[in-house]
Amino acid sequence: MPLSTQSQADIDQYILIASLDNARNLSNILKAISFRDHAIFNATQNGLKVTVEDSKCLQANAFIQADIFQEYIIKEDAVGFQVNLTVLLDCLTIFGGSTVPGVCTALRMCYNGYGYPLTLFLEEGGVVTVCKINTQEPWLCPVKSR
């Protein structure tokens, strides 16, 4: 199902929807801060803040303004969750990141709230892939033993 033909009922179930015509833009931003496996996403009416942290002594933030997205809908004041950044980056590049001019991977990122996965709808050349990435609460950061 192409992203543009998703039913209104499908869209209404989510508390956060963010769409981009080119997923590579988001992928490049996230790669720049991906020095740990997990990232915390905080969405507000102003946009999406992504934070990667290491042992409370090093932190990287990326803020994507709401105006950058072709569609940005948030139904609560703030929405926060944590995802595995490595898995998210793999999903964003699932089509291989075509370098052919005019061929882009469209993205619709949806989140339904606490306990639900982050759902990515990716479309390139009429082919749609749906990726569901398990989420955690932002304060449940996994700690790696060294």
Question: Domains, the chain, ranges and CATH?
Answer: 3-133 (3.70.10.10)
For residue 53, which phi and psi values (nearest 5 degrees)? -135, 145
pLDDT at res. 46 = 97
pLDDT at res. 136 = 93
Asked if the model's pLDDT at residue 142 lies above 70, the reply is: no
Asked if residue 35 lies in contact with residue 52, where contact means CB atoms within 8 angstroms, the answer is yes
Provide the percentage of residues in the chain whose pLDDT is more than 70. 84
pTM: 0.85
